[in-house]
Amino acid sequence: MIQVENLVNGQHIFLEESFDDISPLDSTIIAKVPRTKKIDEAVMAATEAQLQWGSLSIIERCYWLDNIANALEDKIEEIAELESLDTGKPYDIARNVDAERSINNFRFFAKFGREIRDDEFVMEDAINHIIRKPIGVVGLISPWNLPLYLLTWKIAPALLMGNTIIAKPSEITPLTAHLFGQICTDIGLPKGVINILHGYGSEVGQEIVSHPDIKAISFTGGTSTGRIVAATAAPLFKKLSLELGGKNASIILDDADLDITVPGVLRASFLNSGQICLCGSRILVHSSIAEEFLTRYLSELKDFEIGPVISEEHRNKILSYIQLAKDEGGAIIAGGNIPDKAGSWIEPTVIGGISHNSRTATEEIFGPVVTIHTFDTDDEAIEIANCTEYGLAGSVWSKERGFEIAERIDSGMVWVNTWLHRDLRVPFGGVKNSGVGREGGMWSVNFFSEVVNICVKEH
């Protein structure tokens, strides 16, 4: 049994009051997690540490990011094992997606930090110097679907720009954040620079969002939680970045190359059991190729390996949507059942014959469930793609016209003939109810800084 500990001011602390971390693979208890309610000590430690950390040069902080990356690399197998244990995802995905990417987040921002140049705007008689200062103490709140990957995506740029951190990982998947805290201590990261507090969102999460000395909040999670976070943080004038849910469309035009489209759309449907905010949970296919596409898609689906979903509770939510689909007149084309084994498993499920305006086809299910819709014209495809409250991502599959369709989709990110092909320099984030702000490259750097203009007049 793992005892998860908070990291506060360089000390690893287990709290008497704790709750269970349950394995999605077989429903056993795998860890005890501290139920943190008070955060003042961590905020004071971070505030004190920030003076020193913020006064380092950016190059010195890049050195620390590389140090963290090296230390994570030494433990890559352990990270993957813990992530797989905690989320139920197959080990290979935990190793090649979650663990690899967590390391890359630090490597990327270390390299990026070395290349940042302050802007200058020259006037006839003066020069404007744009400098970036740290914000101070920042709160980072992350979800359970890609636990260390999404947390380090925030930690790396926050550290780079001279901030100190109060991090709150999801209470459902605390294990890799616990290991990460130990790694930071092992490499001698100055105490108080990273503080990690475990516990429930409505308790410690809410404390972080409402604490007056935490000056910025970067949040990834559900849209309804994002609304609460925004309502709490806005009156305190905190900087806010919200990366929320999605209901993304994979649009397959009549000139799509099905040899790449079928495996690509399948991966977008079910990677991580459909529990990625970028997953393509709505498949929009041109009616002239719908039959051929579906036959090949269902055939390849048989060999697609997925893990269980994150918890019993989440499975119940997904099952309620499958029932809703039936109530809304949908047909279950594949899956829909619970395999006969312990843990929160559910078959990958494909639903057809349902209106694109139905609740099933417009609300985020966040599981291995897709709906399929056909269209006859580009306008119809765009109308269906844009008909939800979300606007996070999407993909278009076409030999010739991908870009022109992509431009018309109301979402923050669109891939053409690929999906989840990530360059960490580009903006990541959504429009509509999928979020506020962008992460990635310069967008993260600017979010985690106070950008100041100093105008110097010639004399």
Catalytic residue ranges: 243, 277
Residue 390, strand partner residues: 432
CB of 229 to ligand TXE, least distance (A): 5
- Between the CA atoms of 390, 393, 397 and 400, what dihedral angle is there, to the nearest 10 degrees? 100
DSSP per position, 62-124:
HHHHHHHHHHHHHTHHHHHHHHHHHH---HHHIIIIIIHHHHHHHHHHHHHHHH----EEE-S
- Which of 322, 4, 420 is CA-nearest to residue 176? 4
Distance CA 438, CA 441 (A): 10
Q: Which is nearer to ligand TXE, 62 or 167 (CB)?
A: 167
Distances in whole angstroms, Cα of residue 207 to Cα of each of 121, 155, 167, 312: 41, 19, 12, 27
Q: Which is nearer to ligand TXE, 48 or 363 (CB)?
A: 363
Closest residue to ligand TXE in the complex (CB): 201
- Which of 349, 87, 241, 154 is CA-nearest to residue 97? 87
* From 72-80, 158-166, 221-229, 382-390, span contacting ligand TXE (CB under 6 A): 221-229
Tokens of 97: 């997606």
Interface with ligand TXE in residues 303-322 (CB under 6 A): none
Number of chain residues interacting with ligand TXE (CB under 6 A): 25
- Between the CA atoms of 387, 431, 94 and 262, what dihedral angle is there, to the nearest 10 degrees? 40
Q: If binding is defined by CB under 6 A, does position 86 make contact with ligand TXE?
A: no
Distance CA 225, CA 206 (A): 10
CB of 212 to ligand TXE, least distance (A): 15
Q: Which of 10, 113, 157, 245 binds ligand TXE (CB under 6 A)?
A: 245
Q: If binding is defined by CB under 6 A, does position 70 make contact with ligand TXE?
A: no
Q: Which is nearer to ligand TXE, 159 or 244 (CB)?
A: 244
Distances in whole angstroms, Cα of residue 248 to Cα of each of 260, 275, 276, 296, 455: 19, 12, 10, 21, 44
* From 138-146, 181-189, 256-264, 404-412, span contacting ligand TXE (CB under 6 A): 138-146
Q: Which of 61, 168, 286, 438 binds ligand TXE (CB under 6 A)?
A: 168
Q: Which of 10, 88, 143, 147 binds ligand TXE (CB under 6 A)?
A: 143
Interface with ligand TXE in residues 357-416 (CB under 6 A): 364, 366
* From 25-33, 220-228, 334-342, 448-456, span contacting ligand TXE (CB under 6 A): 220-228
Cβ-contact 363, 318 below 8 angstroms = no
Q: Which is nearer to ligand TXE, 378 or 410 (CB)?
A: 410
Site string for ligand TXE, 328-357 (x = CB under 6 A): ------------------------------
* From 30-38, 70-78, 85-93, 241-249, span contacting ligand TXE (CB under 6 A): 241-249
Q: If binding is defined by CB under 6 A, does position 171 make contact with ligand TXE?
A: yes
Compute how many other C-beta atoms are within 10 angstroms of the C-beta atom of residue 192: 26
Distance CA 107, CA 69 (A): 6
Q: Which of 39, 141, 382, 396 binds ligand TXE (CB under 6 A)?
A: 141
Residue 60, strand partner residues: none
Interface with ligand TXE in residues 253-312 (CB under 6 A): 277
Tokens of 310: 């994150």
Cβ-contact 179, 207 below 8 angstroms = no
Q: Which is nearer to ligand TXE, 187 or 436 (CB)?
A: 436
Site string for ligand TXE, 186-215 (x = CB under 6 A): ---------------xx--xx--x------
* From 97-105, 217-225, 347-355, 381-389, span contacting ligand TXE (CB under 6 A): 217-225
Binding site for ligand TXE (CB under 6 A): 141-145, 168, 170-171, 201-202, 205-206, 209, 220-222, 225, 228-229, 243-245, 277, 364, 366
